[in-house]
Structure 1
Amino acid sequence: MKKRVRNFTAQLIAKSLIWTGALKKAKAKALRGDHILSIYFHKPTKEEFEYVISWLSKNNFNFIDLEDLQEIRLGNKAFPKGAVLITVDDGWGNNEVNMAEVAEKHQVPITIFLATEAIEKGYFWFSIAKKAFAKKIGTPHSEEMKMLPNQERMKIVQSILSQLPNDREAMTLGQIKKINEFNFVNLAAHTHSHPILIQCSDEEAFQEITTSKAKVSEWTGKTITAFAYPNGDYGTRETKILEEQGFLLGFTTKAVPMTPSALDKPYELPRLGFLEGASKEENLCRILGIWKTKKNLTLK
């Protein structure tokens, strides 16, 4: 009930942004080359992803990949007009059918950032934490757990695992091997256990980043040069690790368009988030960068 009310309210707000011309203005700015639309997903349905691809294509946007972005950043390519960069966080099992196969079909490049422990074990800690909270077994909500020191969070996760079954939600290694052969799918690093990096010790942060890079490289046979911060949380320590470990690009969840000046900070690149389950109108406002998040309109 709360979700329906939230989505209805958000849809009304989004429609007002469309009716007042805000969406049209934002689209015009992107098409004339003011910025790149850097859009990220988690686990959309096939219909949701296809709608976004179709809408962007029909509205004369074109899709770029990470190699293009790096060339643009270095000045080897001109800053583009109407460019869209698509990334995906975590590595959910349904990403293969709902995103990778769709991207391959429409020849739209996407990059999936993998939390490597989830690929190996099958579960995402924040997902099982939400289930545990819903079952009222006495553990905090996943959003509260993100605020805890990493070791404390890990103890709670282990407690949950001892009480609840954890069905596989992440992609398998077999799926990774399969989509690694796709022409329009790139795989990159998203830490090992998907911790909140700023809650980690120096050693934990280093190991999380380097382990994920090594494992994705091993699975794909490729050099991994891009990284996305879990939950978008990072600091100067994390950007320094990325630079020292040979990463070229680091992605945040700063919900602003990617302007030419944003490329001056390659380890702090912004992304506009798509919200699974929200209305088409709301998500158009989100991916065009005109949606202002309200706390009471956040899906839990």
Structure 2
Amino acid sequence: MQPLRGQVVPVFLLHRFADEARGILGHSQAHLEAALTYLNNNGYTVVSVRQVVESVISGESLPPRAVAFSLDDGFYDQAKTALPVFESYQAPVTLFLATDMQDQRYWSWDYKLEYLFKHTSLEYLELDLGEGTREMAFADPGDRRTLVRKLRNVHKRLPNHGAEAAVASFAERLEVDLPAEAPDEYQPITWEQARSLESSYIEFGPHTQRHPILAQISDTQAQKEITGSWKALQANIANPVPIFCYPSGREGIDFGEREQEIVKQAGLIGALSADPGYVHLTQAKNNLYALKRFSFPNDMAHFKQYCSWLEYAKERMSRG
């Protein structure tokens, strides 16, 4: 069945890395190391996102069991924990930066929302999540994370300025002062750190300036967000990856044809969504400006399944 697997590449999407001292939940270093060890021991080859996209464009082959990794946003914990692991395993990875985080220590409304609920002394609030107003309790950390996830999904459907206004309202209701700049638990990687980390294995690509939902902003703003982030990478990084990464990343919801055209006009050779699926190594089976990725699983069983031919066989069967 390996020839079947050789037709596709799984690209994995990772976000935050756990840092108990800073109150950050996320992937563990041990799990990432276990995943990379498994790949090394079982005949897989980690390739870069750049190699994947260039292979799709050129038609040149990749190793038959290729796997790729990407990190979104550009937080300090990613640079501190994840990047040294990839470097030590000589495994390529691309970190996509929301560049106003580096330029202004900016942090987006979705992370502000998370911060508010993590730091409030309140344990319940009356909220309307689309089914009428009712009291929502969030004293339990698991309930709080679930509620924040639901609120994010609700507010992603609003224009970006509406989501920002809602966060300001939540700050008042939850009795929490929002710092103007990103606090330590949302500390971004700096340009200086990025330059020092750039290597044969670690690359950086554009992920907008301020991490908005692109479909919810104007044509002018979308143009500025996409081209501005690419220009910031070109000005600050020696060899930036000419591949874009959409915030949130659901095709037809968070981005669409307008955004894809802007990315093309900016001279970028491809773009990544966050929709689950493989990248096919034949151009006819892909949209180069909406390539799919799998969220990095937190258990080895699912990770192995995505890496092997099994998940691709299931995907083909589901399509009939």
1:174 is the counterpart of 2:192: yes
The answer to whether the Cα contact below 8 Å between 1:46 and 1:97 also exists between their aligned partners in 2 is no
Match of 1:34 in 2: 7
RMSD after superposition: 2.8
Seq. identity, %: 24
Aligned residues: 262
Partner of residue 128 from structure 1, selected from 104, 107, 112: 112
2:92 maps to which residue? 109
Q: Is the 8 A contact 1:205 1:238 kept in 2?
A: yes
Which residue identity is paired with 2:11?
S
Q: Which residue of 1 aligns with 2:71?
A: 88
How high is the TM-score relative to the length of structure 2?
0.73
Taking structure 1 as reference, are residues 281 and 57 closer, same or farther at Cα in structure 2, changes over 3 Å only?
Answer: same
**Cα offset, 1:157, TM superposition:** 4.2
Deviation at 1:110, TM superposition (A): 0.6
5 Å matches for 1:236-255?
Answer: 236-255=257-276
Deviation at 1:158, TM superposition (A): 5.1
Task: Show CA shifts across 1:207-264 (max 9, x none).
Answer: 1111111111111033541111111131000110011010001001121111234664
Aligned-partner Cα distance in 1 for 2:3–2:255: 29
Q: Contact (CA 8 Å) 2:107, 2:210: kept in 1 or not?
A: no
CA distance in 1, matches of 2:304, 2:154: 29
One-letter identity of the residue aligned with 1:167: P
Note if contact 1:109-1:184 (Cα within 8 Å) is conserved in structure 2.
Answer: yes
Question: AA paired with 1:105?
Answer: S
Query: How many angstroms apart in 1 are the aligned matches of 2:100 and 2:222?
Result: 15
TM-score of the aligned structures, taking structure 1 as reference length: 0.77
Aligned to 2:300: 280
Unaligned runs of 5+ in 2: 17-26, 128-147, 315-320
Give the corresponding residue for 2:219: 202
Rounded to whole Å, the distance in 2 between the matches of 1:123 and 1:264 is: 32
Counterpart of 2:227, as a letter, is T
Letter in 1 for 2:281: P
Unpaired runs of 5+ residues, structure 1, are 1-24, 293-300
* Counterpart contact for 1:122–1:167, Cα < 8 Å: no
